[in-house]
Amino acid sequence: MSTAKIDVSIVIPVYNGGDTLGPMIEKILREKRINLEIIIVNDGSTDNTAEILQTFNDPRLIVVHQTNQGVYAARNAGIAVRRGDWLILLDADDDFTDDMIVDRFRQANLHDVDVYIANGWRNEQREGDFSNTIHHHQPYNKTIKGFSWINHVVGVREWPHYLWLQIVRSEYINQLQLTFQLGSSHKDILWTTELALGNGRFYISDKPDYVYCDNHNSITHSKKYFDSRTLSYIGVISQLIRWANESRYHEVKRALLIHSLEEARHFFGMYRKKTKDKPYARAQFFQHIRFVDLLKGVNSGRKMWFLLRLYMAFVRS
């Protein structure tokens, strides 16, 4: 294996993503301006993913095969073997501009930050069209500390926690001993929160470079997956509250509690409309979350009305 310095490690978990994986790998391998490695974690795919991977003969491509353990375990496996100074986490079914990797690498180094967050488009790329972008209300084009960023994103109710918009300094990840919490979904919220709770240097760009494609055939849209998504929200909410109650995060305590209530709103929507085993979800909610903690996150009449609805729905059930 080459001992050359690696600028960027790109980790892509894949489960039955053979149809889209090949073109993405080809596009990444066309980038020759920096030294990179692509780490594909095949999470127990049963389609043609393994065959697609065998068609590539490039030393920059590293393949990790594992039994199906879920996307976050797959990301952890890729992160564990990375060698790059910077880390980019991608999904196998999205797209990005030709210069995305090198632009993020250069901008992150230019501004000497720990985390650089780009913008992106939803579903289709529209050069010059900023109405279709992922975020619109960030503290753009300046460095900002993690605590300040948390307070800002909660204040404007726009938390761009999307992994595929980030490039993160590997040394910062090591410093925080950061890995993904295991579970079925929504752990990207906690990953991004932990990045910010490290209070490192952030730079948020208004320039889009990534195209997020909402794949309606993905597992997240499967009816079998709805109950686990509901339970995942409980894990996110309870973790945000735990962090809020740690003295070292007193500067963002209020923001974390406000955000926990916002995630409770998403939980309630999933619970009411798509959850089958409501008694179990409700029991798990009461086991891990106290209404008194959510009450501390109320910052408007609308939020109070929501919390009242949630309380009455659960108490009457």
| Dist CA 48 CA 67 (whole Å) | 15
Residue 51 burial (10 A CB sphere; 0-12, 13-18, 19+): exposed
Per-residue tens of pLDDT for the chain, all 317 residues: 456 899 999 999 999 998 889 999 999 999 999 999 999 999 999 999 999 999 999 999 999 999 999 999 999 999 999 999 999 999 998 899 999 999 999 999 999 999 999 999 987 655 556 568 999 999 999 999 999 999 999 999 999 999 999 999 999 999 999 999 988 789 999 999 999 999 999 999 999 999 987 654 444 444 557 798 999 999 999 999 999 999 999 999 999 999 999 999 999 999 999 899 999 999 999 999 999 999 999 999 999 999 999 999 988 76
Phi, psi at residue 233, to the nearest 5°? Answer: -60, -35
Residue 125, helix vs strand vs coil:
coil
Residue 26 CB contacts under 8 Å (≥ 6 apart), including other chains: none
- Is 169 in contact with 108 (CB distance < 8 Å)? yes
The answer to whether the pTM exceeds 0.85 is: yes
**Could you give the CA distance from residue 176 to residue 180 in angstroms, rounded to a whole number?**
12
CA distance 238 to 291: 11
